[in-house]
Amino acid sequence: MQRWVLDLGNTRLKIAPLQANGEAGESIALEHRGADIAALAARLPPQMDVAYLASVTHEGLRVGLLDALAARCQRISLARTQRRWGDLRIAYADPARLGVDRFLAMIAARAHAARVEHEPVLVCGVGTALTLDLIDAQGRHLGGRIAPSPTVMRQALNRQVAQLPACGGSYVEFAVDTPDALASGCVGAALGLIQRSLADAGSRLGTAPALYLHGGGGEELRSLLPQARWSPRLVLEGLAQWAAIEKPA
């Protein structure tokens, strides 16, 4: 049986086959950036028995992908945030308001933490948004933060001030040209929020949490956060765990 997990974000669709042991196999990322769904669908596997989909993008693209999957799949299951998953308990009063990508990343990070005596974790996703979620050693989600990613900060500045380039430059402590100053300021803002969150979490819990970093924009921050556990497939890993016991509808 060909079972697949798919993570539809705002700029990319990540897809991986489910292996016999229930883990996500080798994944690929397909850029879409809101493009015509037909172009995206043409790059999907032609045959799938079961598809498990997590989506945080706009309704039109999600429905379009579901239609494309319906032409290929016998069954489709759409992942949703749940109040509890094992010992993971979501802090939101209405779990549906917490993005399913954050929920799935927490499932996977919690599973990793279980291998290290259930240590607390801070999960940081860097995509269109930068998200942070804190989970204590008992599996309680203590809440999170959402901010623009460095890429979105650059794009917003460019829209307001055209002479400020939307990309380019490198992170340095004190830049001597505009592209580097922009890169340093936007990346530095993200680093500051992450470091502040780590410090706040340590004060609240009495111990520093393990930092898990994932998402398409995480690579840019990885070298500047040496303590981070780089986990680029965290959402797909969580989706694979969700799929292991979820019955497709």
Length of the chain: 249
Same domain as 170, residue 60: no
Domains contained in the chain, number: 2
Q: What is the pLDDT along the chain (249 residues), one digit of tens a residue?
A: 799 999 999 888 999 999 999 999 999 998 886 667 778 888 899 999 999 999 998 888 899 999 999 999 999 999 999 999 999 999 999 999 999 999 999 999 999 988 877 799 999 999 999 999 999 999 999 999 999 999 999 999 999 999 999 999 999 999 999 999 999 999 999 999 999 999 999 999 999 999 999 999 999 999 999 999 999 999 999 999 999 986 544
Give every strand in the sheet of 28-31, ordered side by side: 28-31, 12-17, 3-8, 48-55, 73-78
Tell me the C-alpha distance between 24 and 19, whole Å: 6
137 lies in the same domain as 187? yes
Which tokens sit at 60? 């039109």
- Give the pairing of strands 210-214 and 229-230: parallel
In a domain, 149, yes or no: yes
Q: Report yes or no on 244 lying in a domain.
A: no
> Rounded distance, CA 181 to CA 135, Å?
34
Whether residues 68 and 127 fall in one domain: no
Examine the domain organization and report whether 26 and 89 are in the same domain.
Answer: no
Q: Specify the amino acid at residue 149.
A: S
Final residue belonging to a domain, choices 58, 78, 98: 78
Claim: this prediction has a pTM higher than 0.85:
yes
Q: Of 52, 78, 104, which closes a domain?
A: 78
User: Could you give the C-alpha distances from 199 to 9, 120, 246, in angstroms and in order?
Assistant: 29, 13, 36
Among 7, 87, 94, 101, the active-site one is 101
Q: Residue 59 has what pLDDT?
A: 87
Task: Assess if residue 245 is contained within a domain.
Answer: no
Are residue 70 and residue 88 in the same domain, yes or no?
Answer: no
**Is residue 119 in a domain?**
yes
> What is the rounded distance in angstroms from the CA atom of residue 190 to the CA atom of residue 148?
8
Domain of residue 47, CATH code: 3.30.420.40
Check whether residue 74 and residue 103 sit in a common domain. no
Look at residue 190 and tell me if it is in a domain: yes
Within this chain, do residues 140 and 230 fall inside the same structural domain, yes or no?
yes
Q: Are residues 26 and 143 in the same domain?
A: no
What pLDDT, on the 0 to 100 scale, is given for residue 249? 41
Q: Is residue 223 in some structural domain?
A: yes
Determine the pLDDT at residue 245: 83
User: Are 107 and 222 in the same domain?
Assistant: yes
The whole-angstrom distance between residue 155's C-alpha and the CA centroid of its chain comes to 20
Regarding whether 125 and 8 lie in a shared domain, the answer is no
93 and 120 both lie in a single domain: yes
**Which residues in 118-146 are b (16+ Cβ under 10 Å) and which e?**
ebbbbbbbbbbbbbbbbbbeebebbebbe
Residues 12 and 103 in one domain: no
Structural domain includes residue 249: no
The yes-or-no answer on residue 136 being catalytic is no
- CB contact at 8 A, 48 and 16: no
On whether the CB atoms of residues 106 and 88 are closer than 8 A, the answer is yes
User: Can you give the pLDDT at residue 35?
Assistant: 65
Domain boundary among 62, 78, 94: 78
How confident is the model at residue 38, as a pLDDT? Answer: 79
Identity at 54, one-letter amino acid code: A
Confidence (pLDDT) at 156: 97
Instruction: Give residue 127's pLDDT.
Output: 93
Question: pLDDT at position 39, please?
Answer: 80
CA separation for the pair 186, 237 (Å, rounded): 29
Domain limits for position 57: 3-78
Residue 243 belongs to some domain of the structure: no
Burial of 36 (0-12, 13-18, 19+ CB in 10 A): exposed
The pLDDT score that the predictor gives to residue 34 is 63
